[in-house]
Chains A and B, each alone.
Chain A
Amino acid sequence: MSDEHAHDAHHVNYTGIFVLLCICTALSIVFDVGKPYLSRAALLILVLGVATTKATFVLLYFMHIKFETGWKYVLLAPTMVLACCVPFALAPDIAYHYYEVIVPQSYVMAEEHVEGHGAAAHSPVEHKAESDTHGDHQHDDKHAVKKADDHKAAHPTTTEKK
């Protein structure tokens, strides 16, 4: 929202913006429903694209950034740069490391892999490399979900008992 002058000078069709935001939210749900037919990368782009569009409309029209003067750049530009620092600083060691991470969770992945596909066929290292080549962990997720489904079929989880 802006000061009185800006408010008077720029008439905004708020109802139109609201309808647009609702359509965007509905689109996100549609993408969620269509998850099985979309690749991980496509889902990521579509869903985050919709979110960015929504955020832009809220920022520009509901928060009246569009009608503010140059101070908005002075204030928001450094903020946005600093906001990116944490993920960029953490990513090399936590998200994209060149080395194999051995944590208890890796053993579970290895066990499930061995029991699911046979030890000789693929090593977990190869399995991880495959996932990374595809740029996502969908394979791992599907496998985990399948295991979970098999498990649930035999024995209801705590969730289903409730």
Chain B
Amino acid sequence: MGVAVPHGKLGMWLFLGTEIMFFSAFIGSYIVLRLGSPGWPTDPEVTHIRIWAGGLNTFVLILSSYIVVLAHEAMANRQFLKARNFLWITMGFACLFLSIKSYEYYGKFDHDILPGRIPETHQQACQKLIGRLEAASGFLALEDEKNTLERALADGKGGESAEKALKAKLLKINGDPDAPEGTPERAGELTRRKAIRESYQGFMDQVSVNRAISAEGQEKAEKLFHMVEGSPKTKDHEKVVGKLEEWQGKHPELKNVQIAHPILYGNLFASTYFLMTGFHALHVIVGMILFSLVLAKGSRIGQNPDDAVVLENAGLYWHFVDLVWIFLFPLVYIL
């Protein structure tokens, strides 16, 4: 006496049972976190969520699920060539799904919508901007290079020619005292970089958005949570934006520095987005591998009765992948 179902299929269903719990833990946590985070980012211009991409991917997965069913039906009717062609079409759709997903991920990486990298307060946005300005000015990196060169020179290794090369490099960094006054050669690269840094450093040090909330202020806010005096931080953030344009006009090095805007709960959004869609994409890849096992038989497909069983189980898995996306689409893209 036992369950009237093939072992392979029962195994696949048991596995899918664990998969249901796996994804429902992610989706459930996402819903709970979202409900507990007032101000969760929903504006597509901020989150870079593209409804057309999600909708298209939904259609692609549904269509691929339909094709898999047709492949299984063809296999059952012993139309093996037809089944194989259907499987190739499914593989094509799986690739299309992953391509659209990659395009979406590219947008997120390009705009730094990544877990732990999104400023959520004006202060964090300011710190991020300072980091970008520091990197663009190149002062600290050049100072490090200078120290390294000086140490190498003090070590005196490499002979006369190496010493000459090190001195030439240092001269370029520190400036040439013999060069005509007022020329860039006389000032040196380090002075030039320092000037770039100084152009924004004073302002950024003073601006209120760059200061953490004081203990007194925090206590007051926690007690009252009214902020009765208002806060100049948002206005100061606007000032920083205006200043950046001014600095960029003066120093071409800062041209590519982009302002960082705070996104409330942006990091939580990015973490849950990548967790859910990332694991789903991994499942798509696993589904493709399962179909490859059948396709690897080539023209011998169907000769072994196990092929039909493998296809059936791979199909079940694929429909489950579709099922997960059916819920991810409205939760992540629409709501």
Closest A residue to B237 by beta carbon equals A151
Cβ contact within 8 Å between A4 and B334: no
Within the complex, what minimum Cβ distance (angstroms) separates A24 from chain B? 9
Q: How far is the CA of A2 from the CA of B335 in the complex (A)?
A: 35
Interface size on A, residues (CB 8 A): 87
Residue in contact with A47 in the complex, picked from B48, B58, B262, B335, CB distance below 8 Å: B335
State whether the Cβ of B213 lies closer than 8 Å to any Cβ in chain A: yes
CB distance from A81 to the nearest CB of B (A): 10
Q: Which residues of B contact A104 (CB under 8 A)?
A: 120-121, 124
Per the 8 Å Cβ criterion, residues 64-86 of B in contact with A are 65-66, 68-70, 72-73, 76
Contact present for A1 and B5 (CB under 8 Å): no
For the complex, give the distance between the alpha carbons of A79 and B225 in Å: 43
Partner of A151, one of B63, B261, B335: B261
Instruction: Determine how close the nearest CB of chain A comes to the CB of B59; give it in whole angstroms.
Output: 6
Given contacts A3-B9, A84-B24, A109-B264, 17 further A-B contacts (CB under 8 A): A3-B6, A14-B69, A21-B62, A71-B4, A75-B13, A76-B17, A83-B25, A87-B31, A91-B35, A110-B231, A114-B227, A114-B228, A119-B228, A125-B226, A144-B43, A155-B241, A158-B260
B35 CB to nearest chain A CB (Å): 4
- Interface SS of A by simple majority: helix
Q: Are A109 and B66 in contact (CB under 8 A)?
A: no
* Pair A32/B334 contact, Cβ less than 8 Å: yes
Beyond A105-B39, A114-B230, whether A90 also contacts B32 by CB under 8 A is yes
Binary per-residue interface labels of chain B (300-327) against chain A in the complex, 1 for a CB within 8 Å, 0 otherwise: 0000000000001001100110110011
| A105 B55 Cβ-Cβ under 8 A | no
**Do B43 and A87 have beta carbons less than 8 Å apart?**
no
Q: Does B259 contact A (CB under 8 A)?
A: yes
Task: Name the residue of chain A whose CB is nearest to the CB of B312.
Answer: A1
Query: With A119-B227, A123-B225 given, is the CB distance from A4 to B76 under 8 Å?
Result: yes
Residues of B contacting A113 with CB < 8 Å? 227
A94 close to B32 (CB less than 8 A): yes
Is B166 located at the chain interface by the 8 A CB criterion?
A: no
B36 and A84 contacting across the interface, CB-CB below 8 Å: no
Q: Is the CB of A18 within 8 A of B45?
A: no
In the A-B complex, list the 8 residue pairs whose CB atoms are closest, starting with the nearest. A87-B28, A83-B24, A95-B35, A18-B66, A79-B17, A47-B330, A111-B231, A94-B36
**Which residues of chain B are within 8 angstroms of A106 by Cβ–Cβ distance?**
225
Note all chain A residues with C-beta closer than 8 A to B265. Answer: 105
**A128, CB-defined interface residue at 8 Å:** yes
**A151→B259 CA distance, assembly (Å):** 12
Inter-chain contacts of A68 with B (CB < 8 A): 5
Q: In the assembled complex, how far is the CB of residue B25 from the closest CB belonging to chain A, in whole angstroms?
A: 5
A14 to B67 CA separation, bound complex (whole angstroms)? 10
Q: How far is the CA of A47 from the CA of B329 in the complex (A)?
A: 10
Quote the shortest CB–CB distance from B320 to chain A (angstroms). 8
Interface pairs (21), CB distance under 8 Å: A28-B55, A28-B330, A28-B334, A29-B55, A43-B335, A62-B68, A83-B25, A90-B28, A91-B32, A95-B35, A104-B124, A107-B121, A108-B120, A109-B39, A112-B234, A123-B224, A123-B226, A124-B225, A124-B226, A141-B40, A141-B42
A151 to B316 alpha-carbon distance, docked (Å): 48
- When distances are taken between beta carbons in the complex, the residues of chain A under 8 Å from B41 are 144
Smallest distance from the beta carbon of B155 to chain A beta carbons, Å?
A: 44
B229 at the A interface (CB under 8 A)? yes
Candidates A63, A69, A91, A154; contact of B241 at CB < 8 Å: A154
Query: Which residues of B sit under 8 angstroms from A71, Cβ to Cβ?
Result: 3-5, 10
Check A59–B29 contact: CB distance below 8 A: no
Contact of A111 among B58, B66, B233 (CB under 8 A): B233
Contact with A along B248-285 (1 / 0, CB 8 A): 00000000001111101100000000000000000000
A4 to B312, CA, bound (A): 10
A133 within 8 A of B: no
B264 touching A144, Cβ below 8 Å:
yes
Query: Chain A 78-96, CB within 8 Å of chain B: the 1/0 string?
Result: 1110111011001100111
Check B316–A105 contact: CB distance below 8 A.
no
Q: Is the CB of A7 within 8 A of B76?
A: yes
Q: Considering only CB atoms, which chain B residue lies closest to A108 in the complex?
A: B121
| Cα distance A158–B109 in the bound complex, in angstroms | 12
Bound together, the chains give a CA A102 to CA B223 distance in angstroms of 10
B181 an interface residue at 8 Å Cβ cutoff?
A: no
Residues of chain B with a CB closer than 8 A to A47's CB: 330, 334-335
